[in-house]
Amino acid sequence: MKPFIFISLLLLSINGISQDFTPNYEESKIPAYELPPLLTSNDGKAVGTSEQWMDYRRKEILSDFEKYVYGKIPEGDIDIKTEIIKEKNALDGKAIMKEVKMTFSGNNQEIYMDILIYLPKIKNKAPLILAYNFNGNHTIINDPNISLTTSLVGNNKEFGITNNRATEASRGAKHNRWAVEKIIDRGYGLATIYYGDIDLDINDLSDGIHALFYKSGQTQPAKDEWGSIAGWAWGLSRAMDYFEDDDDIDESKIALMGHSRLGKTSLWAGAHDQRFAIVISNDSGCGGAALSRRRIGETVWRINTSFPHWFCDNFNEFNNNEDALPVDQHMLIALVAPRPVYVASAQDDKWADPKGEFLSAFHAGAVYKLFGLEGLPTANMPEVNEPIMKSVGYHIRTGKHDVTDFDWEAYLDFADKHFGN
Ligand code: GCU
């Protein structure tokens, strides 16, 4: 793709559409709605045990999310090559930094994904947090040893990025969002990947991971096939494949975290791939943790119009038609059960509907109960900055749509609690 096309498409992707849209933020204006039942199968059977949940209800819900929301991963074989590119001391010697390149090829095309890994120097295999980043691995911390991404990135005057290529000046540009040292000091590793390695975040699914799987003559996913979110989720599972082979990493203790569109991605990846031991959604909003039927802030129509490439085409059937959706997002969170799941909101992030994020997490608790586990205790939101940590965790913190040290502290506490660290 030519860079100038990318720039204009990226602008489109960031600014969304110009069509008039007045989001509703008033609870009193939410149309009456009923959530699809978690514990009744599609043919009306009651689901009363964890075995029944695992044997059929979970499968039905997963398949509905595939068919109507995120899209199925097409069948097909691609080649995967994994290489450790670098291994160095980092953070004044208290950590090891590794770069791992996974190259994917199919249909005579090749893409790669660079996994940047920081590991604490501990005796045992390290538990680890895996999270995508938005701007390139080199932006999470100012470490000259990190390779600049060679994938296309968004232009940015401040960092001298004019031709969609990463610059030295953008090293560490997003360090505020990444508590790397805190994570290491708490005994966890951190792995991150630039999401654009898997699929550029533009309304074009002719390249990236999708292109490697197309059948002969196909240039677009079918209506029920994957959009970008499912593509990014696929990439997280491939990183998990690598962790299973790395003797320094405890693959049974991988917590998946994501912010915003990447929070939607971490929920879908964690729902799909049960190898992830904890799933964390940071401010994921519409199409993530927030209930679609509340229609507060961003709606299904709005997200499908601004970001047509994120979901499968079938999701458009539910534009201004949320009540027809066979699922709602509490069911996505429930798919993580019995593994711990954490949903976080920010008070000023009205667009993502904090209450809708909370209610999803609350309702998912019914499935945790089947496993004898505790969900959120009441349907009333907690006070701000007061995390609740059961098998379902939740907090709403003060401040805006972002990832802060407060968020990281909560995630590490939650991981300590469940991993027994
Ligand atoms: C937009 C979009 C959200 C998304 C967010 C982000 O605001 O409407 O759905 O979560 O971008 O990813 O930052």
Report the run of H or E that residue 368 belongs to, with start and end: helix 354-370
Ligand 1 centre distance from Cα of residue 259 (Å): 9
**Per-residue pLDDT at 19:** 62
**Per-residue pLDDT at 109:** 96
Give domain status of residue 152, yes or no.
yes
> What would the pLDDT profile of 12-57 be if each residue is shown by its tens digit?
344 445 468 999 999 999 999 999 999 999 999 999 999 999 999 9
**Per-residue pLDDT at 314:** 98
**Per-residue pLDDT at 60:** 98
Count how many domains the chain has. Answer: 1
Residue to substitute in 11, 13, 232, 298 for testing ligand 1 pocket (most ligand atoms within 8 angstroms of CB): 298
Q: Which residues contact 157 (CB under 8 A, 6 or more apart)?
A: none
Give domain status of residue 3, yes or no.
no
**Per-residue pLDDT at 421:** 84
Ramachandran sector of residue 164 (left: φ over 0; alpha: ψ -120 to 50; beta: rest): left
β-pairing verdict for 278-282 and 341-346: parallel
Give domain status of residue 1, yes or no.
no
Active-site residue, 210 included? no
More confident residue, 415 or 3: 415
> What would the pLDDT profile of 229-268 be if each residue is shown by its tens digit?
999 999 999 999 999 999 999 999 999 999 999 999 999 9
Which atom of ligand 1 lies at the shortest distance from residue 263's CA?
10
Give domain status of residue 186, yes or no.
yes
Ligand 1 centre distance from Cα of residue 261 (Å): 6
Question: Residue 301 sits in a domain of what CATH number?
Answer: 3.40.50.1820
Give the domain range for residue 190. 8-419
Catalytic residue, candidates 63, 147, 237, 401: 401
Ligand 1 centre distance from Cα of residue 296 (Å): 14
Residue 4, pLDDT > 50, answer no
**Per-residue pLDDT at 49:** 98
Percent helix, strand and coil across the chain, each to the nearest 5? 35, 20, 45
> What would the pLDDT profile of 288-320 be if each residue is shown by its tens digit?
999 999 999 999 999 999 999 999 999 999 999
What is the number of residues in the chain? 421
> What would the pLDDT profile of 201-235 be if each residue is shown by its tens digit?
999 999 999 999 999 999 999 999 999 999 999 99
Residue to substitute in 135, 351, 357 for testing ligand 1 pocket (most ligand atoms within 8 angstroms of CB): 351
Ligand 1 centre distance from Cα of residue 109 (Å): 30
Ligand 1 neighbours (beta carbon < 6 A): 260-261, 285-286, 298, 303, 306, 351
**Per-residue pLDDT at 20:** 81
Give domain status of residue 245, yes or no.
yes
Catalytic residue, candidates 228, 260, 281, 391: 260
Active-site residue, 401 included? yes
Give domain status of residue 134, yes or no.
yes
Residue 1, pLDDT > 70, answer no
Q: What is the mean pLDDT of residues 108-115?
A: 98
Ligand 1 centre distance from Cα of residue 90 (Å): 33
Give domain status of residue 2, yes or no.
no
Tokens (6 digits) for 347: 């008070």
Q: What is the mean pLDDT of the chain?
A: 95
Confidence of residue 381 (pLDDT cuts 50, 70, 90): very high
Q: Which residues contact 275 (CB under 8 A, 6 or more apart)?
A: 237, 240, 244, 251, 254
